[in-house]
Structure 1
Amino acid sequence: MGMRGGGGPDGRGRDAATYRTPDRVGQVITIKAKVTRAFSTSMEISIKVTVQDMFTGIEKLVSVAFSTFVAKPVGKEKIHLKPVTLVTEQDHVEHNLASERRKVRLQHEDTFKNLMKESGKFDDPTCDEEEGTVSTRGTSVQSIELVLPPHANHHGNTFGGQIMAWMEMVATISASRLCRAHPLLKSVDMFKFRGPSTVGDRLVFNAIVNNTFQTCVEVGVRVEAFDCQEWSGGQGRHINSAFLIYNAVNDKEELITFPRIKPMSKDDFRRYRGALARKRIRLGRKYIISHKGEVPLCIHWDTGNQVSLSNGNVEALKSLAAKSGWEITSAVEKVGGIQVYTQPVAHHK
């Protein structure tokens, strides 16, 4: 399902898309989409993609995504949407989760800015002292595409799905330059449509590796659109940005461990810290959404439950300490050698 601008629903962005298994030639792909909730003038669409092997009959979930659309107004006034009718218990669950995702989406920019300010207080990981660290300069990729009629809808606006496909292409090349293997797209983080493009525009795609986290790598992609006049003047329009997360496997289908990144310039450090901040946001988003409705996210303290809360906190810390796979995200050498670690949250199926 490609998001589109103009002529009906207008695609504004994609909170996140998760890819669980790659599809291959000869398999049957089923795409299901539905409106989970309407928010006055916008709506959330949930998209699930499954693939079925025709020889074995086995069906697997390939991708889950949540997109936000607004109805394109005929005049200047916004179109107000009617609430979605909830029929089943699952409809109610998805309706509530859509609200949680919207909160995360609306708070994303402020949360990101706060995390970037916080990261400025920490020293960057001492990459200079580590062996095997690499620069990202060799991962920069640029591609230019001309928007033709087959790439656009009947209003002449470029299909969102086409832009996403071009973005994935340059991001995959960028990731492959780092891992020297065939990277597999794992997820897409906060894909946002900032403005439209039309037939005749030249789209410039710039991709580069921002950071690595053991077995995954983040690639940032920026898209600028140029009409003929803008192309002559060298001033384009920033229409899209996204951050794509990749894995890579070896001949034994085992995940490859990526080398640590060594930031060299101020822009490298900005992108390096930004990737750390986005990872922290992703972990928090996964935790909040996956646990919503299962257990309360917090328990208020009082004198009657202080003992049970203390015991529970101790047990939780012991359980966390026993887990493997922790990744260092930042360090403060000046204050007793404090190090901050994170651990990926597993998918809940």
Structure 2
Amino acid sequence: MPLWSAYSAFEYIRSLWLKTFLFITQPIITRWLPDPYTNAGNVRVDARPTYESRVTMTEIITPAHANTKGLAYAGTVLGWIDVAAGIAAKRHASVPSVTRSVDDVAFLHPVKVGDILTIQASVNKSWKTSMEVGVKVEAESPLTAERVFVAHAYLTFVALSPRPSPKTYLGRKLIEYQPIRVPEVIPYSQEEIKRYDMAESRRQARFARKAQDLKNIRQLFQAWSQGLRHDTGKNAPIIPHPALYAVEPEGASNNINSNNADDSPSQSPRDRLPQRRYSTDPRMMPMSEKAMATTFAEVVELVMPQHANTLSITFGGQIMAWMELCALTSAHRLTKAYLLTASIDSLNFITPTRVGDVVTVRSIVSRTFKSSMEVYVSVEAENLQTGQVNFTNDGFFTITAMDEKNVPVLLPHAIPHTEAEVELLEGSDDRRKKRLTQRQELINLVSATTPHTLQTPLSP
């Protein structure tokens, strides 16, 4: 028998023995482990009222949270939404909880530097080991005291058993964090009862939702990140700068923008809608089309302790912030304009990422409309100790383009050239129709519960 065959058989037997041993002993050992909550003198209950999980966070938007136009990044706001929802889930379950999924989030109003952001979260309903947390975001101007509705989100959290951190390999296998039963939710107010009743239908919709299989485009992403792309483009030119060159090279142009093809007056925007005004800024006049592959972007991040919760699992909000960063990079490669994230489609976190993992985020503009674009983003995590790479999650961002006066900017077409890109393009019309429908439903819902009339935001 070859040596490699004998080694493979040994590894298979060892793995089978370990799985059998853990299957028998893990339920028994986990019952013997101490519970920090009960050890502190508390008693676990079977049900809790909704108001006990209520959380209100207040944040002030600073320049560090915003882009060059002074508008807050959606990823920053999503991160705060995830933190507020996580606190609410942990208050209800009294155990560590991790983000399992995020429903579609539509931003109805931009948030500016200096605004005071109020984020309210509470558990709407709980099931065996999971909870739905609803989050509402409002912004307040410190100068006028005017308040405006910003966004609403639903997040699903899973409660995990509170266990001490193991130090050995066998300990990590025996004391692996397992889902644990959470208390039921008792709604009292009419609004709480309404959210409680609607939570079950949203849960069934999540189970019924079928994600599009985009494995081909993710494989294309990996090939591009490894330098296997044929049309890599030319190297950037060397343009002398007076602060870095004591003597300007002979023949250098004084106008550093003289070779910028995008500023050519021969380039004209696409036909415009007669009922809507678009930017006439010559710096933002789009080309007629661009190859979809030219918008590819990649962001690589090392998960540090500040990115993770007490279980060393990366915050879902941090993943979403990295996803938006990558999506904005792709969007900037399509157009020269100011960008604003309008919405993010629902996300499902398939596998968790932990401290020490390398998270790779890749994105590409999957479809352009008049002044908005859809950007597809995928995330994978690599364990540097084992070399294992896992697909974590993916999603679609909707990003709008505008000029300095907040006038929409016309965008070039993103043209697919490969089968994987064409596959990604398919379904974009249905996805957009779904987003606009949900956006209008949210506007109608907020308008019905707000005493003053909510103005319909400009839809891309």
Question: Normalising by the residue count of structure 2, what TM-score does the alignment of the two structures yield?
Answer: 0.54
Contact residue 218 and residue 245 of structure 1 kept, 8 A? yes
Q: For each residue in 1:22-45, what CA deviation from the matched residue of structure 2 results, as whole angstroms up to 9, or x when unmatched?
A: 222222111110111223332211
* Structure 1 position 223 matched with structure 2 position 379: yes
Looking at structure 2, the residues matched to 266 and 173 of structure 1 have their Cα atoms a distance apart, in angstroms, of 23
Tell me the CA shift for residue 2 of structure 1. 2.7
What's the counterpart of residue 304 of structure 1?
none
* Structure 1 position 141 matched with structure 2 position 297: yes
Looking at structure 2, the residues matched to 14 and 222 of structure 1 have their Cα atoms a distance apart, in angstroms, of 15
Q: Which amino acid letter does the alignment assign opposite residue 92 of structure 1? A: I
Q: Which amino acid letter does the alignment assign opposite residue 209 of structure 2? A: H
What's the counterpart of residue 88 of structure 1?
189
Q: For each residue in 1:111-152, what CA deviation from the matched residue of structure 2 results, as whole angstroms up to 9, or x when unmatched?
A: x57xxxxxxxxxxxxxxxx99233211111001111112212
User: What pairs with 1:241-320 in structure 2 (closer than 5 Å)?
Assistant: 241-282=394-435
What's the counterpart of residue 52 of structure 1?
140
User: Which of residues 199, 202, 226 is equivalent to 2:358?
Assistant: 202
Change (3 A) 1:281 1:23: closer
Task: Give 1 or 2: higher strand fraction.
Answer: 1
* Structure 1 position 105 matched with structure 2 position 206: yes
User: What pairs with 1:330-349 in structure 2 (closer than 5 Å)?
Assistant: none
Contact residue 97 and residue 289 of structure 1 kept, 8 A? no
Looking at structure 1, the residues matched to 203 and 189 of structure 2 have their Cα atoms a distance apart, in angstroms, of 21
Q: Secondary structure at the match of 1:45?
A: strand
Q: What is the aligned residue count?
A: 275
Looking at structure 1, the residues matched to 314 and 390 of structure 2 have their Cα atoms a distance apart, in angstroms, of 14
Contact residue 139 and residue 178 of structure 1 kept, 8 A? yes
Looking at structure 1, the residues matched to 127 and 377 of structure 2 have their Cα atoms a distance apart, in angstroms, of 29
Contact residue 365 and residue 414 of structure 2 kept, 8 A? no
Tell me the CA shift for residue 203 of structure 1. 0.9
Contact residue 144 and residue 202 of structure 1 kept, 8 A? yes
Looking at structure 2, the residues matched to 270 and 45 of structure 1 have their Cα atoms a distance apart, in angstroms, of 34
Q: Structure 1 residues 72-81 or 90-99, which shifts more?
A: 72-81
Tell me the CA shift for residue 275 of structure 1. 2.7
Work out which structure has the larger RCO, using CA pairs closer than 8 Å and 6 or more positions apart in sequence. 1
* Structure 1 position 30 matched with structure 2 position 118: yes
What's the counterpart of residue 328 of structure 1?
none
What's the counterpart of residue 313 of structure 1?
none
Tell me the CA shift for residue 64 of structure 1. 1.4
Change (3 A) 1:271 1:177: same
Contact residue 100 and residue 289 of structure 1 kept, 8 A? no
Which has the larger Rg?
2
Q: Percent identity?
A: 30
What's the counterpart of residue 318 of structure 1?
none
Looking at structure 2, the residues matched to 186 and 39 of structure 1 have their Cα atoms a distance apart, in angstroms, of 31
Tell me the CA shift for residue 21 of structure 1. 2.1
Q: Secondary structure at the match of 1:2?
A: helix
Q: Structure 1 residues 63-72 or 6-15, which shifts more?
A: 6-15
Looking at structure 2, the residues matched to 27 and 291 of structure 1 have their Cα atoms a distance apart, in angstroms, of 25
What's the counterpart of residue 82 of structure 2?
2
What's the counterpart of residue 127 of structure 2?
39
Q: Secondary structure at the match of 1:50?
A: strand
Change (3 A) 1:284 1:27: closer
Unaligned runs of 5+ in 2: 1-80, 163-174, 214-270, 272-286, 446-455
Unaligned runs of 5+ in 1: 114-129, 293-344
Tell me the CA shift for residue 79 of structure 1. 3.0
What's the counterpart of residue 316 of structure 2?
160
Q: Structure 1 residues 94-103 or 244-253, which shifts more?
A: 94-103
Change (3 A) 1:97 1:261: farther
Looking at structure 1, the residues matched to 425 and 116 of structure 2 have their Cα atoms a distance apart, in angstroms, of 39
Q: Which amino acid letter does the alignment assign opposite residue 184 of structure 2? A: P
Change (3 A) 1:32 1:80: same
What's the counterpart of residue 28 of structure 2?
none
Looking at structure 2, the residues matched to 51 and 346 of structure 1 have their Cα atoms a distance apart, in angstroms, of 15
* Structure 1 position 11 matched with structure 2 position 111: no
Looking at structure 2, the residues matched to 209 and 48 of structure 1 have their Cα atoms a distance apart, in angstroms, of 29
Change (3 A) 1:204 1:77: closer
Q: Which amino acid letter does the alignment assign opposite residue 181 of structure 1? A: A
Tell me the CA shift for residue 274 of structure 1. 3.9
Looking at structure 1, the residues matched to 191 and 348 of structure 2 have their Cα atoms a distance apart, in angstroms, of 28
Tell me the CA shift for residue 175 of structure 1. 1.2
Tell me the CA shift for residue 286 of structure 1. 5.8
Looking at structure 2, the residues matched to 70 and 201 of structure 1 have their Cα atoms a distance apart, in angstroms, of 21
Looking at structure 1, the residues matched to 302 and 406 of structure 2 have their Cα atoms a distance apart, in angstroms, of 37
Question: Normalising by the residue count of structure 1, what TM-score does the alignment of the two structures yield?
Answer: 0.70
Q: Which amino acid letter does the alignment assign opposite residue 302 of structure 2? A: L
Contact residue 135 and residue 263 of structure 1 kept, 8 A? yes
Contact residue 104 and residue 285 of structure 1 kept, 8 A? no
Looking at structure 2, the residues matched to 255 and 103 of structure 1 have their Cα atoms a distance apart, in angstroms, of 38
Q: Secondary structure at the match of 1:252?
A: coil
Q: Which amino acid letter does the alignment assign opposite residue 155 of structure 1? A: L
* Structure 1 position 237 matched with structure 2 position 390: yes
Change (3 A) 1:81 1:290: farther
Change (3 A) 1:98 1:255: farther
Q: Secondary structure at the match of 1:276?
A: helix
Contact residue 30 and residue 51 of structure 1 kept, 8 A? yes
Contact residue 17 and residue 65 of structure 1 kept, 8 A? yes
